[in-house]
Structure 1
Amino acid sequence: MHQHRVIIIGAGLGGLTLAHGLRARGFDVAVYERDPHPDHRPQGYRVQLDEPGLAGLESCLPEHLFRLGLATAASPPARVSVRDRHLGVLGDRPTAPSPDPSGSTDRPHRSYAFNRPTLRQILLFGLESTVRYGAELLSWERRQDGTVAARFTDGRSANADLLVGADGVGSAVRALLLPQARVEDAGLRLIYGRIPLHPRAARAGEAGRAAEADGSADVLPPWVFDSIFTVVTGGPGSPHVGFGPVRFDRPPGEAGPAHSPAVPLAPVGDYIACMVGAPADHPDVPPFPELRGLGGPALRELAGRLMGDDWHPDVHRLLAHWDPSSLFPLRVSTARPVPPWEAGPVTLLGDAIHAMSPVLAMGANTAIRDAAELTRTLAVAADSRTPLVDAVRAYEIRMTEYAFPIVAASQRTGRQRIGQK
């Protein structure tokens, strides 16, 4: 029986999830990543996974790695809060349940806050011989026998039955496959970083509230721990700030080595992910190339200036605890829907095809859902000995049906809350 070979371009969350899923189902998989090593650039901090992403991980990962993922995730109250700049509550709702990749809606809803670097370390475990670093895609071409040949800038080449572009917003695969596809600047700039939570920092609940009432200098406002994510907004066209607590039941640096088998995980302490955003045309926001050149202290000073004196003191108090060395800027992008295209031995998943605003926290969820959906359809095709192109066609139809409505919903919500284009 022919063992299908799949090349995955990009070792992000979606690409690595797909690699695990396909390897478990007998596919020959190789992942090519342009970065020279896994820690080459910032991967971000907190990532929220709800039912679509969790169900996708569970269906693709070895059971022990999925358990370790949950063991090293935080589970704040599964609510999203929206407040005005004076901390008046504008909205407070549970995180919305969504169907899992198989279409079932009868699973209990779950929401977790993962530390993204920890989750990526877990996803890389067992794929040491599968991921090739320093491999930037140069081109690919469809061969006469229906397979695909990929070439890389360092001279390497590889052939496969299927090539999957999981290479993010600036996807080289998409540029070659769908040159008509458009990814637009959403008109938002973010400064992203961490607020470390030291052992004496405030915790949610009555103890934290009592300490706050006593005026303890190292206590953080308890409301920031009441939801999995809180947005404080100045209204459309104005700056906003978001807070997402990540407090581990067991620190990853302890949980990984104690796991069976042991998984080496870098130590990380509790923290609050904090992002300050503003429209790109805000008078205090420099052009993005200039923003990228600012160091941590300058980024923190800019964020404080964006908030202004009329924002609640709690917001400034939180930003005062921001770790300047953790800060980096981001430009938010959003994808335009793509008309149906002819299926072949090349396809896309995640931000490579449906980049979206982070306002609904669905980017990673949808990328992992893509990986699970593609794994399922390819496995069915392999088992039934039908052409993989038929599975690719089915995947692309289904993926565009569920993903682009989420892109549109993210854009609508971003316009309402934070002035996204």
Structure 2
Amino acid sequence: MIVIGAGLGGLALAHGLRRRGVDVDVYERDAHPGARPQGYRIQLDEPGLTGLRECLPAALFELCLSTAGAPPARVSVRNRHLDVLADRAAAGGARTPDAIGPRAFDRPTLRRIMLLGLGDRVHHGARLSAYRHETDGRVTACFADGRTATAELIVGADGVNSAVRRQLLPAAGVEDAGLRLVYGRIPLDDGTRRALPSWVFESIFTVLTDGPEGAHLGLGPVEFGTRPERSGRALTPPVDLPPVGDYVACMVGAPTGHPAMPAFEDLRTLPPDGLRDLALRLLGGGWHEDVHRLLDRWDTASLFPLRISTAAAVPAWEPGRVTLIGDAVHAMSPVLAMGANTALRDAGELSRALADPAGRGECPVRAVGAYESRMRDYAFPIVADSRRTGRRRVGQQ
């Protein structure tokens, strides 16, 4: 099997397939895992944690959990004066007796752990140009540097700008959600933790909103159960994980119609201190003093801009030897924190389908079709719910 994309979904799928005896290679367009910023904090609830546990070897899954934080499993929405607008249990669906509660992960650490055990099966610097169907029924991936690879199945896990999706489902568009973010983090030490308002740590994620036409602020604490470098050393055999300190992920966003929000092409050119100045202009006056205390602690060097996209509705398609998981097929805005959760669920669903008798042998198309049918049933309602919630809270289009 060939997986295009070494994000969380693609790496989970590779592990899930290998655990089930399927030969798999992952091709990633970036030159190395840290080639571009991909965010800091990631929240996994039951769908994502179940998919992760289903795919990863037990030792790696436990290593992931040992580095995760477990803030109170609530999501809070407040206005700019800190009045509570909504406070609910974090998403995750029905709980089972052995279910793990929501966890906050450091995304780079999680990805580093998921690269373990795949060795030379992950090929960096491989940008997919196209794929072609061979006369023997197999498919060949063609890369920009001239490399090719042939397998029984190609899985596009290559994100919002998926090259696999463009060829497989050319009518399946990805829409601009009309939201822009300045994303960064607030490092935590004992002094900073005491200086920050207590409500920051009372929920796994908090949104402060000035209404659908105004700016918003998102906050999510990442306090490691065990520091990654210590968890890595405790593994047998030990592994090296880069040291990471606790922090609060902090993002300021606004709809594209906000008078202070520049075009994304201009936003991308701003240096970190320019991004900080923009965030302060977006918030303007009238916000609670706690917000200014928070932004005073923002690590300016950590800031980078994000454009939010969402998948357009796509009718069912005929299954074949090319399929999609994660943002490559159902990109969604982050307001429900379900993007990564759904991608990891995809990985578990697809790896399990391909391990079933119907997915073995020369023709995995039946298993692909079963996976795609289930995926459409659970993923696209979440995309729609994310869009509705985003429109109501933060001005998503």
TM-score between both structures, scaled by the size of structure 2: 0.98
Q: In 1, Cα distance between the equivalents of 2:366 and 2:349?
A: 14
Q: In 2, Cα distance between the equivalents of 1:106 and 1:198?
A: 35
User: Which position in structure 2 is the counterpart of 1:332?
Assistant: 308
**Structure 1 residue 107 displacement after superposition:** 4.5
Q: Answer yes or no: is the 8 Å Cα contact 1:381–1:387 preserved in 2.
A: no
1:287 aligns with 2:238: no
Q: Answer yes or no: is the 8 Å Cα contact 1:189–1:332 preserved in 2.
A: yes
Q: Residue deviations 1:3-32, cap 9 Å, x none?
A: xxx000000000000000001111110000
**Structure 1 residue 128 displacement after superposition:** 1.7
User: Which position in structure 1 is the counterpart of 2:4?
Assistant: 9
1:148 aligns with 2:139: yes
One-letter code aligned to 2:229: G
Q: Answer yes or no: is the 8 Å Cα contact 1:48–1:361 preserved in 2.
A: yes
One-letter code aligned to 1:222: S
1:129 aligns with 2:120: yes
One-letter code aligned to 2:76: S
Computed over aligned residues only, the root mean square deviation of the Cα atoms, in angstroms, reads 1.3
TM-score between both structures, scaled by the size of structure 1: 0.92
Q: Answer yes or no: is the 8 Å Cα contact 2:207–2:216 preserved in 1.
A: yes
The farther-off stretch of 58-67 and 108-117 is 108-117
**Structure 1 residue 249 displacement after superposition:** 2.2
User: Which position in structure 2 is the counterpart of 1:265?
Assistant: 241
Q: In 1, Cα distance between the equivalents of 2:358 and 2:119?
A: 25
Q: In 1, Cα distance between the equivalents of 2:297 and 2:230?
A: 25
Map 1:256-405 → 2, pairs under 5 A: 256-381=232-357, 385=361, 387-405=363-381
Q: In 1, Cα distance between the equivalents of 2:131 and 2:96?
A: 39
Q: Answer yes or no: is the 8 Å Cα contact 1:85–1:233 preserved in 2.
A: yes
One-letter code aligned to 1:112: R
Q: In 1, Cα distance between the equivalents of 2:139 and 2:99?
A: 41
Q: Residue deviations 1:249-292, cap 9 Å, x none?
A: 21112211222221211100000000101001211111001101
Structure 1 residues not aligned, in runs of 5+ = 1-5, 203-207, 209-218
Report SS of the residue matched to 1:120: helix
Q: Answer yes or no: is the 8 Å Cα contact 2:32–2:124 preserved in 1.
A: yes
Identity %: 62
Q: Which runs of 4+ in 1 moved over 6 A?
A: none
Report SS of the residue matched to 1:129: helix
1:225 aligns with 2:225: no
User: Which position in structure 1 is the counterpart of 2:59?
Assistant: 64
Q: Residue deviations 1:24-83, cap 9 Å, x none?
A: 111110000001111111121000000000000101100000000000011100000000
Q: In 2, Cα distance between the equivalents of 1:29 and 1:195?
A: 38
Which of 179, 188, 200 is the equivalent residue of 1:197? Answer: 188
User: Which position in structure 2 is the counterpart of 1:212?
Assistant: none
User: Which position in structure 2 is the counterpart of 1:415?
Assistant: 391
Q: In 2, Cα distance between the equivalents of 1:234 and 1:357?
A: 18
Q: Answer yes or no: is the 8 Å Cα contact 1:381–1:390 preserved in 2.
A: no
Q: Residue deviations 1:111-164, cap 9 Å, x none?
A: 000000000000000112110011000110112222101110111001000000
1:166 aligns with 2:157: yes
One-letter code aligned to 1:264: D
Structure 2 residues not aligned, in runs of 5+ = none
Q: In 1, Cα distance between the equivalents of 2:317 and 2:98?
A: 33
Q: Residue deviations 1:329-351, cap 9 Å, x none?
A: 00000101211111111000000
User: Which position in structure 1 is the counterpart of 2:166?
Assistant: 175
**Structure 1 residue 248 displacement after superposition:** 1.1
Report SS of the residue matched to 1:141: strand
Report SS of the residue matched to 1:28: coil
Q: In 2, Cα distance between the equivalents of 1:50 and 1:180?
A: 31
Q: Answer yes or no: is the 8 Å Cα contact 1:381–1:388 preserved in 2.
A: no
Q: In 1, Cα distance between the equivalents of 2:172 and 2:395?
A: 24
Q: In 2, Cα distance between the equivalents of 1:381 and 1:48?
A: 34
**Structure 1 residue 386 displacement after superposition:** 7.3
User: Which position in structure 1 is the counterpart of 2:32?
Assistant: 37
Q: Residue deviations 1:305-349, cap 9 Å, x none?
A: 111120001011101111111000000001012111111110000
Q: In 2, Cα distance between the equivalents of 1:263 and 1:409?
A: 40
Q: Answer yes or no: is the 8 Å Cα contact 1:150–1:158 preserved in 2.
A: yes
